[in-house]
Structure 1
Amino acid sequence: MQKDIIDVQHVIDQSRFSPFQWLTFILCFLIVLLDGFDTAAIGYIAPSLLQEWGLEKKDLAPVLSAALFGLAAGALFAGPLADRFGRKLVLLVSVLLFGVFSLASAYAANLHSLTALRFLTGVGLGAAMPNAVTLMSEFSPSQRRAMITNAMFCGFPLGAALGGGLASLMIPQWGWRSVLMLGGVVPLVLVLVMLRYLPESVRYLVAKGKPVERVRSILSRISPQVYSAKAFVLTEVTAEQGLPAQSGVQVILSRRYLVGSVMLWLTYFMGLVIFYALINWMPILFREAGLTPKTALLISALFPLGGVGAVFCGWLMDRFNADRTIAVCYALTAVAVAAIGQMAHNVGLLVAVVFVAGTLMNTAQSSMPALAAVFYPTAGRATGVAWMLGLGRFGGIAGSFLVAELARRHLDFSEIFVVIAFPALVATIALLIKQFSAQARARRDKQQAKVAMASDGAIELTVRE
């Protein structure tokens, strides 16, 4: 390639991880952290709602799932919008939305108004996370993309765990509304910082043929050598037969990606059945098992805290088979979640098992966006990640209703956790199917194009002066 024509991913791969990329990482991490905090907040305030408004457990199912319906809607719409209008704009609007409506939720007068406001909060939350993942993955070196993206996504379980710790301190002092106020004010402050410092993806700019000056101004903050470039290119495998798809939706539903897309959706769905069944109901289940309210909150907060293991999983994904690595985590999750139900009367063991189960579960679930980001090309990456997260949210809705239904059927403590563990086995099988499908596809591609395989499956996107 000529010296004045530069491949943007080559620059990112060959350069040190710059302060500019670290700043982008921190901003995306904070977005996902607040996403996790606001998403999990309703589970931590649920016992207070039962007491203040005189509710029964079954009455909580709509408000616990309202944000998840919003999350699904926000993700499904935001992915295609980000592939069309850019990652930064959608991120700014989404963080603004969930900040405003989380703050408004703190002033809800009854369960119906809180449910409606939680849905609107969820729309912003659902739009924010997949685009933060997409933006960070597009600023990451190829050889460390999964590890960096997973590290950024750790903000979600850490935010959820932070919510539990803060809730245990704030609710006794200022009531449950203070948790939602905090979850609204901080995102609004972050929007002001994002306006000034959050960049647009250079991969997106090249893919959309944006002015070369705009690409150069961003990429030069990673490598000053690009100042002499007169054109930027992006070379990658795209849709069937090397032809660029017209939209992100067409990419993820094309023959090349359809099986993998469905398996990603199913895996994430099953993971969120487990996550939301536990994050929303563990404080209540533990209190009913005899733990004090504060102890129940603190032990429940250990479950999302375990997501920091995703960094190590990302390192493994960059070096070994990513599908199989995550599948093993889900298989072990099934064992650990079932074990929680056997520890109700031993607080010490319960703490250990909840943390181990959380580490395995959240490591697997937090690794899924990175897996999707690597699986799809630039033209469909935001849509692919967002649709996996959006469709998966219906698993969160199912998880929220699942425990209520199990309680209605009078299953005991141990039986509830055995049922919750089963979706992890389904997720394991789905990832193995995705892997086998990819291997079969690779063999067919090799047979069809032995000599011209690389050139037939690639498209070079260029922006010039």
Structure 2
Amino acid sequence: MSNPLRDSVDAGPMTPYQWTAIGVCIMLNMIDGFDVLVMAFTAASVSTEWQLGGTEIGMLLSAGLLGMAGGSLFIAPWADRFGRRPLILFCLTLSAVGMLLSAYSQSPEQLGLLRILTGLGIGGILASSNVIASEYSNARWRGLSVSLQSTGYALGATFGGMVAVYLLGQWGWRSVFLFGGLCTLAAIPLTLWRLPESLDFLIARRPSNALVRLNRLAARLGQPQLRELPTLSDARAQGGGSRFQRLFTREQLPSTLLLWLAFFLVMFGFYFVMSWTPKLLVTAGLSAEQGVTGGVLLSVGGIFGSTLLGFCSARYRLHLILAVFMLVTALLLAVFVASTSQLTLAFIVGALIGLFANGCVAGLYAVSPLVYDASVRATGVGWAIGIGRIGAILSPLVAGRLIDAQWAPSQLYLAYAAAFAAVACVVLMFRLPSPRARAALG
């Protein structure tokens, strides 16, 4: 495909307009971080009010992740037909309704269904915002841009967690959901104002007034106006089979399966670390307060991990940096529990785990848009994230079964360290397109 606008964006410097678009994507990912933790922070209060057991709380914790998987698998692909921006706005509305109604739920069943509804919206948002962050970056800083977008998760988890603690003490668990719903509503006008439609979507799908819309974006990007739409010479951009089927063509199948396996294993390990660390630290001998502190340090470390991976990816091949992050994560997990005999050392190791584990997730988000061309990018990324969410759902359940089987914390961390080591091998098998080929895909 001859695409001078795409080529100019890839080769040119980053403009304030591009960074603003990426900033909105960071904000959207913060909603994910808050939404994942909101149930974890309110679980004790919800359990007390409704007299729930561990199994029922576990179902509520998994309900949001189940919804996110469904949103990534079945809602996000519609962005390749209707556009990334309209789908994000629809999903924001869906999430806001789910969060606000959760504040007024009258039973565990109602809350569980509303958690699924909220998760559907979040899952749809993530794939599209990740794609936009990638498409509005130039070639040099694309890894950093998507990694920065991924820091939104850690920011939302960290600051949202601190707000949740205050709201729980003042007004109870319902206020936490109300706060989350109002923040999600507030994101809608900001998204309308500052989030542009995907350049690559406008070129590949050619909706009504595509040329006018492209020239409007070109002006904001400081690029010359187009006299006509770029010529489509790539059959993939014009169609040929359903978008989902095109993920499994002879050329695409290996990359799709490797990406799915990588997302599954990373999310399987990541959500074990984020969900169980506070409790397992207490089991290992720390106090409840120290366990919570260790959990918070994981999120704090994550803010820096995604950024570090992004800067490294500007100088080195992304999948090689990602494999290093995964191996370091595995090593840190293997020694984590042994470090709890010295509190300061345990907190340092915990922060480093958060740094590198979040970097692993950010790296996969950065890799995934590079695997697919524009016409199926949201579908491909959405399904990869959805498969990852299945790993996230299974992870706490597997850990719970192993704990019931009398596994010690050190054994659990070693087992999940093996998952990160395995996914490092998977990532090294990636065959990403060269920068010139990436431009052609766009």
Q: What is the TM-score of this pair, normalised by structure 2?
A: 0.91
Structure 2 counterpart of 1:338: 334
Structure 2 counterpart of 1:448: none
1: distance between equivalents of 2:344 and 2:441? 57
Counterparts of 1:117-156 in structure 2 under 5 Å?
117-156=114-153
Q: 1:25 to 1:238 in 2, by over 3 A?
A: farther
Counterparts of 1:200-215 in structure 2 under 5 Å?
200-210=197-207, 211-215=210-214
8 Å Cα contact 1:6-1:231 kept in structure 2? no
- Could you tell me which runs of 5 or more consecutive residues in structure 2 were left unpaired when the two chains were aligned: none
Counterparts of 1:181-260 in structure 2 under 5 Å?
181-210=178-207, 211-223=210-222, 225-227=223-225, 229-233=226-230, 239=236, 245-260=240-255
8 Å Cα contact 1:15-1:222 kept in structure 2? no
AA at the equivalent of 1:31: L
Greater mean alpha carbon deviation, residues 420-429 or residues 214-223: 420-429
8 Å Cα contact 2:25-2:130 kept in structure 1? yes
AA at the equivalent of 2:217: I
2: distance between equivalents of 1:189 and 1:354? 33
Indicate whether 1:97 and 2:74 are aligned: no
Q: 1:394 to 1:114 in 2, by over 3 A?
A: same
Structure 2 counterpart of 1:374: 370
8 Å Cα contact 2:330-2:417 kept in structure 1? yes
8 Å Cα contact 2:372-2:441 kept in structure 1? no
Greater mean alpha carbon deviation, residues 169-178 or residues 69-78: 169-178
8 Å Cα contact 2:135-2:200 kept in structure 1? yes
1: distance between equivalents of 2:439 and 2:221? 25
Aligned-pair CA distance for 1:459: 7.2
Aligned-pair CA distance for 1:75: 0.5
2: distance between equivalents of 1:343 and 1:459? 49
DSSP-derived class of the 1:319 partner: coil
2: distance between equivalents of 1:54 and 1:413? 28
Greater mean alpha carbon deviation, residues 347-356 or residues 242-251: 242-251
Q: 1:265 to 1:333 in 2, by over 3 A?
A: same
Task: Specify which of 31, 34, 37 is matched with residue 34 of structure 2.
Answer: 37
2: distance between equivalents of 1:315 and 1:370? 12
DSSP-derived class of the 2:429 partner: helix
Aligned-pair CA distance for 1:293: 4.1
Aligned-pair CA distance for 1:76: 0.9
Task: Specify which of 312, 319, 323 is matched with residue 316 of structure 1.
Answer: 312
Structure 1 counterpart of 2:276: 281
8 Å Cα contact 1:203-1:234 kept in structure 2? no
Aligned-pair CA distance for 1:343: 3.3
Task: Specify which of 166, 170, 174 is matched with residue 167 of structure 2.
Answer: 170
8 Å Cα contact 1:8-1:203 kept in structure 2? no
Indicate whether 1:356 and 2:355 are aligned: no
CA deviation map 1:377-414 (0-9, x unaligned): 11111111111101110000111212221221122222
- % same residue: 29
2: distance between equivalents of 1:51 and 1:409? 27
2: distance between equivalents of 1:373 and 1:144? 14
Greater mean alpha carbon deviation, residues 286-295 or residues 212-221: 286-295
AA at the equivalent of 1:303: L
Aligned-pair CA distance for 1:309: 1.8
8 Å Cα contact 2:319-2:427 kept in structure 1? yes
Aligned-pair CA distance for 1:161: 2.3
1: distance between equivalents of 2:365 and 2:211? 29
Aligned-pair CA distance for 1:218: 1.4
DSSP-derived class of the 2:133 partner: helix
Structure 1 counterpart of 2:259: 264
- Could you tell me which runs of 5 or more consecutive residues in structure 1 were left unpaired when the two chains were aligned: 443-453
CA deviation map 1:14-62 (0-9, x unaligned): 4432222222112111001111111222222233334444434333221
Aligned-pair CA distance for 1:235: 7.6
AA at the equivalent of 2:379: T
CA deviation map 1:215-270 (0-9, x unaligned): 101121011x523x31242789775xx98544432332111121111111111111
Indicate whether 1:426 and 2:425 are aligned: no
AA at the equivalent of 1:194: T
1: distance between equivalents of 2:395 and 2:27? 26
Q: What is the TM-score of this pair, normalised by structure 1?
A: 0.87
Q: 1:87 to 1:68 in 2, by over 3 A?
A: same
Aligned-pair CA distance for 1:460: 9.5
AA at the equivalent of 2:181: G
AA at the equivalent of 2:224: V
Cα RMSD between the aligned structures? Answer: 2.7
How many residues of Structure 1 are paired with residues of Structure 2 in the alignment?
438
- Which structure is larger by alpha-carbon Rg, 1 or 2? 1
2: distance between equivalents of 1:184 and 1:236? 45
AA at the equivalent of 1:226: P
AA at the equivalent of 1:70: G
